[in-house]
Amino acid sequence: MPYAAGQAPWFDLRALPTDTQALLDALRSGSPVRRPSGDDQTFLLIGELLFAQGNASPELRSALFEVAAELQRVELVGDVADPLGRPGVALAVDGVSSRTQLVFDPETAELLAIELYPLGGDGSVGPVGSWTASYPAVVVDSPPGLEDR
């Protein structure tokens, strides 16, 4: 999803604990973002924190993975392609009406994409409803297109 300048979500992660139980309690209590209750919502928040935040320490990233592993109903989907066609390994959690799927790079464990799928009344998974994916940040000498000015 493209964001206008200054509109991309940014969470202050400095106050989050790295103890897994304290971190789970903090995420469920609405820190740093208030969400409806449920492991699917906590799983989505973990994905957003891993995905959108370059300021998560290695200790916090590790704790977020550990918390995700402790959630009920986390399912290994297996090998998938993310929305940009990159190979990945997906984990998913079903909520009441949707499935949250996180796609990780199998070599680096970097989060490649967050995908949301609608669930039918019978539990069937529909086609992807929305997704977010990113390319790795690249440092350049100058902004593209300004060399000729």
pLDDT, tens only, 1-34? 455 555 555 667 878 899 999 999 999 987 777 7
- Res. 87: pLDDT tops 90: yes
Phi and psi dihedrals of 75, rounded to 5? -120, 135
pLDDT band at 76 (very low <50, low <70, confident <90, very high): very high
pLDDT (0 to 100) of residue 37: 84
pLDDT band at 88 (very low <50, low <70, confident <90, very high): very high
Per residue in 94-121, pLDDT (tens digit) is 998 999 999 999 998 889 999 999 999 9
- Res. 60: pLDDT tops 60: yes
Query: pTM score, two decimals?
Result: 0.77
Beta strand 87-94 pairing with 98-104? antiparallel
> Domain extents for the chain?
20-133
Name, in order, each residue with C-beta under 8 angstroms of 43's C-beta and a sequence gap of 6 or more: 68, 71, 74, 93, 100, 102
Q: Cα(88)–Cα(78) distance, rounded to whole angstroms?
A: 8
What is the layout of strands, in order, in the sheet containing 98-104?
75-81, 87-94, 98-104, 111-118, 130-133
CB 42 within 8 A of CB 34: no
pLDDT (0 to 100) of residue 90: 94
